[in-house]
Chain A
């Protein structure tokens, strides 16, 4: 079983609609969680960190469910520019955290006019 699993999609979303997707992680000791965005054939860029209480950044909302070991990302009022692959990233949570980030394979979102 992969440490971080994501539905690869694609999630086809009409412009203006809401889309949400999850990422599950297997290591219960994981402490840090992030969503990165990756445009086609480009480098990943941090979208947002995910905090225990949930957090919002504009049209984007991230939630953490430690009991069920998943994080979620919700995009409201989707824009064409939101089309991208969204990578879930989890820190394994060991005391030596260097190099311990685990990347999911990504969820593709396609926003259509």
Chain B
């Protein structure tokens, strides 16, 4: 039982490049989330999904898109990377509201 798996673990992009971060969970969780974590700030919600085929904006959605075509996968896309998107990205999932979040190991992204 792998839990929540994120790929890649590290990535360096040049400004304007695009990429997709993949999150996969094998716990049959309905809800999935993408957060970013920056120094001195709490985790901030980018986008989330309450079920297959649904997505919603979080606190800081600009510059990101997401898709949840399959229940177990939640993809985060950066269409045109900017240095302000340099951050650590965490995917998380849970099976109902207020249940503990299960996090992936994180993706460290640097945009130069």
Contact = CB atoms under 8 A, between A and B. Distances in A.
B58 A99 contact: yes
Given A34-B100, A103-B42, A44 B48 contact: no
Nearest to A4: B42
Contacts of A98: 31, 48, 50, 56, 97
Contact of B42 (A41, A91, A104): A104
Contacts, number: 52
Interface stretch (B13-21, B69-77, B79-87, B102-110): B102-110
A72 interface: no
Interface residues of A, number: 25
Interface in A59-97: 87, 91, 97
Contacts of B35: 103
Nearest to A36: B101
Interface string A47-67: 001000000000000000000
Q: Tell me the dominant secondary structure on chain B's binding face.
A: loop
A43 B42 contact: no
A88 to B, nearest CB: 8
B27 interface: no
Given A42-B105, A97-B97, A103 B43 contact: yes
A87 B42 contact: yes
B45 interface: yes
A14 interface: no
Contacts of B48: 98-99
Given A99-B58, A103-B44, 5 more contacts: A8-B40, A36-B101, A44-B101, A99-B48, A104-B42
Interface of B: 31, 33, 35, 40-45, 48, 50, 56, 58, 88, 90, 97-98, 100-101, 103-106
Minimum-distance CB pairs A-B, first 3: A103-B42, A43-B103, A99-B48
